[in-house]
Amino acid sequence: MIVRSKAPLRISFAGGGTDVSPYFEQYGGAVLSTTINKFAYATLSTREDQDLTVSSLDYDIVAKYKCDDCFAYDGELDLVKAVINNVRNTYTWDNSLNHRGMDIFIHSDAPPGSGLGSSSTMVVALIGIFQRYLNLPLTNYDLAELAYKAERIDLGIKGGLQDQYAATFGGFNYIEFHPTSVVVNPLRIHPEYLNELEYNLLLCYTGRTRLSAHILDRQIGSVSEKRDTVMEALHESKRIAVEMKNSLLQGRLNDFGALLHEAWLHKKNLDTQITNPEIDNLYEVARKHGAIGGKILGAGGGGYLLFYCDFRKKHIIAQKLEECGGQVVEFGFDSAGLQTWITN
């Protein structure tokens, strides 16, 4: 038997950071995001022995274990180990499965540190193959929560809640984060507005990935200390997420673009390393040549920039960004969320 899954990467428009503890526990958080047609993939193939092999195309690693091993986290394929440990500890595996090995193969359309939620999306894809293989009774909320536990709690990887829910549910969502619950609100946006939005958006790779842990550590410390600049930036980011949601639903896309710029101005106040001279230069070039607004995706420091452009100037902006060292990437929206299937 071969089980495959794919989970979509996400673009977060506004509200990022308000889904990170302790902010949402004290004030409630809200994020506006969508998933795109870039994916994390996982494949599970059964074996006749008890061996477990894990192959990562992105890291060019092949590791061998035993299926009944208790996996320690040592920096080698820890996302896979955390998923297996969580599934095994949370659900009762059928005895026959305990004596069957498997091969797991994983790869992603974007590397960790890209700002597209790739690590969390990979965890969702991995849980997806086990959900399908073991026929686990998981709702989308259960699956996203299990992904959060594996990555954030068990592995201690810094970050918020939004990525796991975005990858699981898919599509445009306004996601609310409460102290004890998460609510995913799917947005019914008119297809004409979606087509126009997709046509006017431009995604640009800055040329480098980043490690977000230090940025998030400082943000968490700032929230704990209630530093005025950071608290105001997070409050405003949450407000802008609401306004952007309304502008999308009402088809006010130029307002959406202007709010994207406003969100970027507040995001930069969260930490001094969210931007750098290279990012600032790319942003200024895009704005100079007609971008209405834009922002860095994810925690910042590298990865992808997203711009909303006047369609008549989008090709010029793309050319200028490429001349400055950026890499413009084609993409489209994806609404399906996590998908799994069985093949032979």
Are 222 and 139 part of one and the same domain? no
Does residue 174 fall inside a structural domain?
A: yes
- Select which of 19, 78, 163, 271 is catalytic: 163
> Which residue, 237, 258, 255, 234, is CA-closest to 246?
255
Q: How confident is the model at residue 92 (pLDDT cuts 50, 70, 90)?
A: low
Are 127 and 9 part of one and the same domain? yes
Are 21 and 151 part of one and the same domain? yes
Instruction: Report pLDDT for 37.
Output: 97
Are 92 and 153 part of one and the same domain? yes
Is residue 331 left, alpha or beta, with left meaning phi > 0 and alpha meaning psi from -120 to 50? beta
- Report the pLDDT averaged over residues 273-289: 94
pLDDT (tens digit, 9 = 90+) per residue, 154-207?
A: 999 988 999 999 999 999 999 999 999 999 999 999 999 999 999 999 999 998
Looking at 188, 205, 225, the residue that finishes a domain is 188
Looking at 188, 207, 229, the residue that finishes a domain is 188
Are 221 and 141 part of one and the same domain? no
Tell me how many domains the chain contains: 2
Does residue 103 fall inside a structural domain?
A: yes
- Report the pLDDT averaged over residues 40-59: 93
Q: Which residues of 82-96 are buried (b: 16+ CB within 10 A; e: fewer)?
A: bbbbbbbeebeeeee
Instruction: Say what the pTM is.
Output: 0.94
Does residue 33 fall inside a structural domain?
A: yes
Instruction: Report pLDDT for 96.
Output: 46
Does residue 100 fall inside a structural domain?
A: yes
Does residue 46 fall inside a structural domain?
A: yes
What tokens does 106 get? 């994983």
CATH at 160: 3.30.230.10
CATH at 205: 3.30.70.890
What tokens does 51 get? 């061996």
Looking at 146, 161, 188, the residue that finishes a domain is 188
Does residue 303 fall inside a structural domain?
A: yes
Taking the C-alpha atoms of residue 239 and residue 30, their distance in angstroms, rounded to an integer, is 8
- Using the Cα atoms of residue 217, residue 145, residue 23 and residue 209 in order, give the sign of their dihedral: positive
Domain that holds residue 123: 2-188
Are 90 and 23 part of one and the same domain? yes
Annotation says 163 is catalytic: yes
